[in-house]
Chain A
Amino acid sequence: MTTVPVIDIKLNLFGAFRKYESKGTPISFQVHESMSVKMFKKRLADRLRELFPDFTDEQLIEDSAIADETRVLSQDHFLTGSCNLLILPPVCGG
Chain B
Amino acid sequence: MKKVLCEIRHERIDPSRVFEFASDFSHGAQTFFFGSVRAKNQGREVIAVGYDAAIPLAEKALEEIVTEAISKWGVELKICILHRVGKLSVGEISVAIGVSSPHRDEAYLASRYIIEQIKLRAPIWKKEFYSDGETEWLKGHALCQH
Partner-contacting stretch, out of A27-35, A44-52, A59-67: A59-67
- State the CA gap A88–B60 with chains docked (Å): 14
- A86 within 8 Å of B by Cβ? yes
Q: When A91-B125, A91-B143 are in contact, do A18 and B56 touch as well, CB less than 8 Å?
A: no
Instruction: Give chain B's interface residues, CB within 8 Å of chain A.
Output: 35, 51-54, 56-58, 60, 83, 94-95, 115, 118-127, 137-146
State the interface size on chain A (CB cutoff 8 A): 26
Contacts between the two chains (Cβ within 8 Å), count = 93
B123 and A14: CB pair below 8 A? yes
Instruction: Give chain A's interface residues, CB within 8 Å of chain B.
Output: 12, 14-16, 18, 37, 63-67, 69-75, 86, 88-94
A18 and B122: CB pair below 8 A? no
A65 and B122: CB pair below 8 A? no
Q: When A67-B57, A74-B146, A75-B146 are in contact, do A90 and B141 touch as well, CB less than 8 Å?
A: yes
User: Smallest CB–CB gap between B79 and chain A, Å?
Assistant: 16
